[in-house]
């Protein structure tokens, strides 16, 4: 019989709620503990989502010997601190994106995982989605020839509020780490690390970037044009352009993939899933633990470090500074 794992949530906010609803779909996941800075928030969250225990501090939760896996869902600026807290208490960690604020922090997290011989993975859920897996299948098949160009956008209009996570510089604000990371992920996954990066960013008087356009150049001549913004909305599409056609997907996960081959269109379906998609990464973590792994073979820590190194390079080119993390 499959081992059942006790999951704990660290930071009871918006994404933790969505993640918990998907966790309920997994028979080997036990919704064990909710940990918040406030006991009331932890109790409300635990009652609403069905966690057995509620803790009014993150420290109390990691002190509980029965916690197996912690899902870290705090703002990016706390990911290093909270990951170290959990790993140093030998709790397996699934930590939200952006994995940290910069690559120095990611390296510390990787070292802590190795020193404690304890599992660590970035919660980059996209890599487990059937839509993404199907895109990868098409790329690898070379049915459309070589991949030459990627265009990928992620935008939504977020009202300016310097106290909220998206615009609070102390919490790692800006569109880049919050949503620009997705188009960058796509470019890294399919084309690797770029050798040339050019950017244009809009930086507000508070120091927070709210829109950015990035151009990536690759040694084989491939290119990516990537954007993110809290200032406007768009269709939020990703287009992979090949020698003999293209594939196009919307960020909405249920949409089929549009494939154009030699000028003719067709739609490509992929497997459906029962949750919002977060159950796939959670299930993968437990599969890794079943196999005594401390790192995912699907989303290795070297990939997360590469991703953060690109984010660092983009920030350098664009002049985006996080005062307490640079
Ligand atoms: N994978 C995805 O699809 C996805 C989607 C959205 C967000 N995310 C990522 O998930 C993380 C959290 O995003 P979210 O939208 O869930 O944020 P959120 O609603 O603001 O929740 C963050 C939680 O972190 C805790 N926290 C600890 N210190 C804090 C501080 N100083 N200020 C504010 N909150 C603090 C709070 O929980 P307590 O008060 O309970 O301690 C808060 O509820 C971010 O890194 C974000 O990039 C991922």
Q: Is residue 298 part of a domain?
A: no
- Confirm or reject: Cβ of 34 under 6 Å from ligand 1: no
**Separation of alpha carbons 238 and 228, rounded Å:** 12
Q: Shortest CA distance to 167 belongs to which of 207, 213, 214? A: 207
The β-bridge partners of 34 are 9, 54
Give, for all 326 residues of the chain, the pLDDT tens digit.
689 999 999 999 999 999 999 999 999 999 999 999 999 999 999 999 999 999 999 999 999 999 999 999 999 999 999 999 999 999 999 999 999 999 999 999 999 999 999 999 999 999 999 999 999 999 999 999 999 999 999 999 999 998 899 999 999 999 999 999 999 999 999 999 999 999 999 999 889 999 999 999 999 999 999 999 999 999 999 999 999 999 999 987 678 999 999 999 999 999 989 899 999 999 999 999 999 999 999 999 999 999 999 999 999 999 999 998 87
> How many Å lie between the centroid of ligand 1 and the Cα of residue 14?
7
| Token pair belonging to 274 | 């029962």
- Rounded to the nearest 10 degrees, the angle between the axes of helix 130-141 and helix 181-191 is 30
Q: Buried b vs exposed e over 71-83: b needs ≥16 C-beta within 10 Å?
A: bbbbbbbbbbebb
Number of domains, the chain: 2
Ordered strands of the 196-203 beta sheet? 196-203, 209-217, 223-229, 147-155, 237-242, 245-250, 257-261, 264-268
Q: Shortest CA distance to 212 belongs to which of 223, 203, 221, 222? A: 203
Q: Is residue 243 part of a domain?
A: yes
- Confirm or reject: Cβ of 41 under 6 Å from ligand 1: yes
- Confirm or reject: Cβ of 168 under 6 Å from ligand 1: no
On whether both 217 and 162 belong to a single domain, the answer is: yes
- Confirm or reject: Cβ of 124 under 6 Å from ligand 1: no
Q: Work out the burial of residue 227: count CB atoms within 10 Å of its CB; fewer than 13 is exposed, 13-18 middle, 19 or more buried.
A: buried
- Confirm or reject: Cβ of 78 under 6 Å from ligand 1: yes
> How many Å lie between the centroid of ligand 1 and the Cα of residue 72?
9
- Confirm or reject: Cβ of 57 under 6 Å from ligand 1: no
- Widest CA span of the chain, in angstroms? 60
Among the atoms of ligand 1, which is closest to the Cα of residue 178?
47
Query: Measuring from atom 35 of ligand 1, which residue has the nearest CA?
Result: 74
| Domain span at 15 | 5-123
Q: Is residue 32 part of a domain?
A: yes
On whether both 264 and 138 belong to a single domain, the answer is: yes
Q: Shortest CA distance to 148 belongs to which of 72, 239, 62? A: 239
Q: Is residue 71 part of a domain?
A: yes
Instruction: Please say whether the beta carbons of 70 and 91 come within 8 A.
Output: yes
On whether both 140 and 188 belong to a single domain, the answer is: yes
The pTM of the full predicted model, rounded to 2 decimals, is 0.98
Q: Shortest CA distance to 124 belongs to which of 254, 278, 257, 251? A: 278
Domain at 112, CATH number: 3.40.50.720
| Token pair belonging to 240 | 């992979």
Last residue of a domain, one of 100, 123, 146: 123
Last residue of a domain, one of 75, 104, 123: 123
- Confirm or reject: Cβ of 76 under 6 Å from ligand 1: yes
**Separation of alpha carbons 220 and 229, rounded Å:** 29
Last residue of a domain, one of 123, 156, 189: 123
Domain at 250, CATH number: 3.30.360.10
**Separation of alpha carbons 226 and 151, rounded Å:** 6
Q: Is residue 325 part of a domain?
A: no
**Separation of alpha carbons 236 and 250, rounded Å:** 6
């Amino acid at each position: 019989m499959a081992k059942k794992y006790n999951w704990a949530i660290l930071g009871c906010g918006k994404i933790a709620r969505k993640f918990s609803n998907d966790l309920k779909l997994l028979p080997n996941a036990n919704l064990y503990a909710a940990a918040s800075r406030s006991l009331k928030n932890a109790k409300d969250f635990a009652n609403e989502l069905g966690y057995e225990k509620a803790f009014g501090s993150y420290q109390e939760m990691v002190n509980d010997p029965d916690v197996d896996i912690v899902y870290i869902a705090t703002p990016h600026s706390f990911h290093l601190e909270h990951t170290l807290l959990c790993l140093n208490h030998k709790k397996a960690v699934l930590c939200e994106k952006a994995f940290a604020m910069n690559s120095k922090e990611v390296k510390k997290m990787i070292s802590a995982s190795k020193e404690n011989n304890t599992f660590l993975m970035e919660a980059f859920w996209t890599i487990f989605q059937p839509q993404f897996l199907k895109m990868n299948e098409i790329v690898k098949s070379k049915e459309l020839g070589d991949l030459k160009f990627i265009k990928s956008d992620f935008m939504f209009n977020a009202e300016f509020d310097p106290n909220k996570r998206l615009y609070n510089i102390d919490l790692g604000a800006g569109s880049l780490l919050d949503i620009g990371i997705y188009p960058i992920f796509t470019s890294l996954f399919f084309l690797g690390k770029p050798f040339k990066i050019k950017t244009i960013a809009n930086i507000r008087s508070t120091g927070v970037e709210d829109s950015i356009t990035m151009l990536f150049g690759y040694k084989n001549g491939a290119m990516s044009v990537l954007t993110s913004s809290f200032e406007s909305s768009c269709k939020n599409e990703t287009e992979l352009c090949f020698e003999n056609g293209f594939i196009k997907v919307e960020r909405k996960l249920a949409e089929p993939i549009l494939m154009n081959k030699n000028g003719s269109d067709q739609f490509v379906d992929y497997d459906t899933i029962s949750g919002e998609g977060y159950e796939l990464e959670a299930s993968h973590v437990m599969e890794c633990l079943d196999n005594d792994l401390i790192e995912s073979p699907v989303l290795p820590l070297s990939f997360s470090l590469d991703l953060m190194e690109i984010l660092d390079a983009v920030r350098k080119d664009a002049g985006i500074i996080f005062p307490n993390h640079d």
